[in-house]
Structure 1
Amino acid sequence: MTTTTEPRPAATLAASALDLTKTYGRGETAVRALDGVSVGIEAQQFTAIMGPSGSGKSTLMHLLAGLDSPTSGRVFLGDTELTSLSDAQLTKVRRRAVGFVFQAFNLLPTLTARQNIRLPLDLAGRGVDPSWEQLVVDGLGLTDRLGHRPGELSGGQQQRVALARALLTRPEVIFADEPTGALDSATGAEVLALLRRSVDQWDQTVVMVTHDPNAAAVADRVLLLADGQIAGELTNPDVDAVIEAVRGLGRA
């Protein structure tokens, strides 16, 4: 069975997937993590992906971000078809057009905050735009922490560094995988507010996988997954609507 949501007009899509499937393993042990998913991610919007464990939400995000390859189907970042690129081409596209924020921060412990923030540009051989860097650093409250290494920063500060790193390349899409999962509720709320700000003030596109209804309610749109298929969506959600939708997935 193939479940789809109608994509937005092509000109407004930052990322999209067409009839996407992903199967792990072979034969009797094969597991189909995604089962014919088609979806569009609108540019300059905050999209959350929710679903029970094993629903395929992280798999979908990894495929949209070019971190994994589908078994079948097509993935686009803007007008670029990721599924048609070589590994070398895909690496270049990710460095140029994709930002990542992970639950575990993924900062290099021997580098300062500033060096971690600049790392994607250094790897890509690109120069830093000083005015944009200053805007991001000031906006995320990191100005007096740039010389500190990750071990000298709190969890919330480390996640701010990770977000600054994702923003510095001015990516087409920022993918956030459980970005508040390792944070307390107050610090997590601050990080979510900063993600929201990056959309509203800096015209970023954010795609976030989360299990937290409070986090999902910050988004413009919530995609609901179950058994590897799109099971519904919410627009302009509030916490109660998200909780009820997730409960509905459980009842189904």
Structure 2
Amino acid sequence: MSADPVYPAGPVDRFAPHALHTAPGIAAATTDLTKVYGSGDTRVVALDRVSIAFREGEFTAIMGPSGCGKSTLMHCAAGLDTPSSGSVRIGTTELSTLGDRQLTRLRRDRIGFVFQAFNLLPTLTALENITLPSAIAGRRPEGQWLDRVVSTVGLAGRLDHRPAQLSGGQQQRVAVARALVSRPAIVFGDEPTGNLDSRAGAEVLGFLRDSVRELGQTVVMVTHDPVAAGYADRVVFLSDGRLVDEMVHPTPDRVLDVMRTFDTRSRTS
């Protein structure tokens, strides 16, 4: 867990659309990532030299107790927050080398986001919300890929509906489709099922799972829910800003067992 990630060799292609690969590479990685807030008596180390790689075509869940640094890790890895020190890469692109405009372009073209709040525009239809990032970028989404994404998330019969005409689960499906339509190198989800009931949450997690299995997508999800983590290929666990454990082929029961150890530590510390 502490070894520095190894990045694939080759030329830097900063903003090319993501393509599927026959052999998995590294979609994103951090090396010695540290994030500190405040100073003096108010100094808080949110992340402490975190090195992790997110492989292409893999679904990773990030878990840990409240305040452990889960969301901070995701925000730094996605270029939404600036590390205090260390390295963050999307593919072979080192984020610290990018100016504000380049970073904005990279987030638009190479990264998809799904958050707890659906963040849909109420005056646009589902289809218009899905294609909005492409429209802002002055591009028309590739038709076959758009059809495939819409089919994968089960929205074919709802494209002309506005958000108010959709259930919470359907709105989050629109948000998932919006994140996928630009063929990003990686999709980050911050508690994407946090505002959904268990049935709708299971549907959205199934769509994220299908996007990995059927579309070759890379997904990184922050969650506190062992059931949600059970949809992932692997789970990484943070505690006090450090990576402390990792699990492949997780099940909700195995994840819950690990999470209980954090509760035990907090009671005995």
Task: State the TM-score, normalizing by the size of structure 2.
Answer: 0.90
Letter in 2 for 1:104: A
Q: Cα offset for 1:141? A: 1.4
Task: State the TM-score, normalizing by the size of structure 1.
Answer: 0.96
Partner of 2:250: 237
The answer to whether 1:10 aligns with 2:23 is no
Q: In the aligned structure 2, how far is the partner of 1:51 from the partner of 1:129?
A: 38
Q: In the aligned structure 2, how far is the partner of 1:153 from the partner of 1:30?
A: 44
The answer to whether 1:181 aligns with 2:178 is no
Please state whether the residue corresponding to 2:170 is helix, strand or coil.
Answer: helix
Q: In the aligned structure 2, how far is the partner of 1:232 from the partner of 1:87?
A: 34
Q: Cα offset for 1:6? A: 3.4
Please state whether the residue corresponding to 2:71 is helix, strand or coil.
Answer: helix
**Counterpart mapping for 1:25-174 below 5 A:** 25-174=38-187
Letter in 2 for 1:49: I
8 Å CA contact 2:110–2:186 kept in 1: the answer is yes
Q: Cα offset for 1:144? A: 1.7
Superposed CA offset, 1:49-102 (max 9, x none): 001110000000001111110011110001000122111110000111000011
Identity of aligned residues (%): 57
Please state whether the residue corresponding to 2:49 is helix, strand or coil.
Answer: strand
Provide structure 2 residue ranges, at least 5 long, that are not aligned to the other structure.
Answer: 9-24
Please state whether the residue corresponding to 2:161 is helix, strand or coil.
Answer: coil
8 Å CA contact 2:145–2:181 kept in 1: the answer is yes
8 Å CA contact 1:13–1:43 kept in 2: the answer is yes
Q: In the aligned structure 2, how far is the partner of 1:5 from the partner of 1:19?
A: 9
8 Å CA contact 2:62–2:236 kept in 1: the answer is yes
Q: Cα offset for 1:137? A: 1.0
Would you identify which runs of 4 or more consecutive aligned residues in structure 1 move more than 4 Å? none
Q: Cα offset for 1:15? A: 0.5
8 Å CA contact 1:65–1:175 kept in 2: the answer is yes
Q: Cα offset for 1:250? A: 2.4
8 Å CA contact 2:237–2:244 kept in 1: the answer is yes
Q: Cα offset for 1:7? A: 5.3
**Counterpart mapping for 1:169-248 below 5 A:** 169-248=182-261
Q: Cα offset for 1:191? A: 0.7
Q: Cα offset for 1:10? A: 2.2
Letter in 1 for 2:222: V
8 Å CA contact 2:4–2:31 kept in 1: the answer is no
Which residue of 26, 30, 36 maps to 1:23?
36
Letter in 1 for 2:58: Q
Alignment length, in residue pairs? 249
Q: Cα offset for 1:8? A: 5.5
Letter in 1 for 2:82: S
Superposed CA offset, 1:132-190 (max 9, x none): 11111122111121111111110000000000000100000000110111111011111
Q: In the aligned structure 1, how far is the partner of 2:222 from the partner of 2:189?
A: 6
Provide structure 1 residue ranges, at least 5 long, that are not aligned to the other structure.
Answer: none
Partner of 2:16: none
Please state whether the residue corresponding to 2:215 is helix, strand or coil.
Answer: coil
Letter in 2 for 1:124: A
Q: Cα offset for 1:249? A: 2.2
